Chain A
């Protein structure tokens, strides 16, 4: 049972000026499932490896409970890690792979056997204990890697993209298994992924990172409903939010001839800090409708329609001025527009996201 605290933790790789992780501050509660997410090279894996003790902490510190572990070797941190490639010991049987850490701790043989067998039962691996990793499928190897972490009964689980080597179907299945396993064991978990759907479905809280900087750390719902800046807004949600930087008028944001009304406070905030009479407005594909001509919607010419059965996504470009802004709209599959038809996109009121045009920070 443990809390984890990153306090201004920074990692600068030798030979590089720019920190890979820049003054990271996160507090992780006991038993929490925290997901670190971001595009590749954003520093999420480095953050995890700093907590594991595989990377140095150049500035700031990392605490597990109230102990500063920044300078402790991995073995003294009481953590277990699941690697992307599983990193199983190829010359050991499944049993020995799981028992390795316990043997190093000189735990009595009977206890080791008990623990490994319990974990194997939990993960449906009982029949494979005598096999070598080479003789296992990808999903089984992944479970062995999980088992190796579980038998340790560590303070913290660390997982570095543990699902990215599985096929799509198995990934979805394992995703929910890991989440429920974590809930059952109640062990604080830090999970790294680049897949925002994995992050949304598994995490109690999600920390979105970009270029070594923490963008926002909150529950999946809040990230979805109130993304803190344009990066988070574009990263969370699939297909991505329609994010457009347009001119700001007395009334609101101007899309061609159509004005999206904005409140007075928002307009004031948008003009400060070098806003330059521009504002960035976002609305999600699922939060707008297709209206008729004259409904006050933004005119969009349809380029492509993706039918998914229950719904359809309409991709198009703006049909005003010479703008080539692209839009995505979700619609019911019963009313699908034809290609090159002009449709009118009406954002649902109350669901628009407004950001400062130059700083990218949220305004409403």
Chain B
């Protein structure tokens, strides 16, 4: 009797497990095919470059793509130097495991978990109002930078930390100053990790909506300058699906473009890491 019960339990688990896996794959296929099916009709060159018409039901996403890229550009310009600097400081100039390092590390981890809408509120209060930047690409980009920094810093830091100790000792034995060792050896050696972290951050930034709604705004015209309000791709999808009746078609098209962008970025990140790793691996 006991054996039969055990056997049934085992079978039940097996079924449950396979069911879960099938469900996951099934939903994934469902969403992806739905996206493609509904969105593919809209995908053509003119969609990518022309301006939205009729509140976005017709026309394209040209100015929106431009705004998105500008916002991303601002975010990167702020994130990369600040992030690299902080990571280098954490990794090289603070005692590993010391109080300061642990405190900064924990703060960063917590920041990474803060909901994007809270960042949106902060961005609105700080960049738009207190700094007087208003609804602009600049505000949006800087807010995004705040969101990207914790992830980027953490991954850069772990990349630096994992650089083989042999190189550090070798650099020291050769009398290289810390700065020289960083510039010539440590940073190039951790380039794959840094790039991967950067790609991850970019992916997160592109997917962001809540932080941008009240920092970079809704305007869907082609922006003239960084202080203009601009609509990011994700915000456009939101607007089309929620506020514009009959905007679903265009929303799907835009969503497809966004997904393709993300896939490309992740693919580039993966292949970059691969290529770098192959050049770096010692054969001992």
Are A and B part of the same complex?
A: no
* A residues neighboring B (CB under 8 Å): none
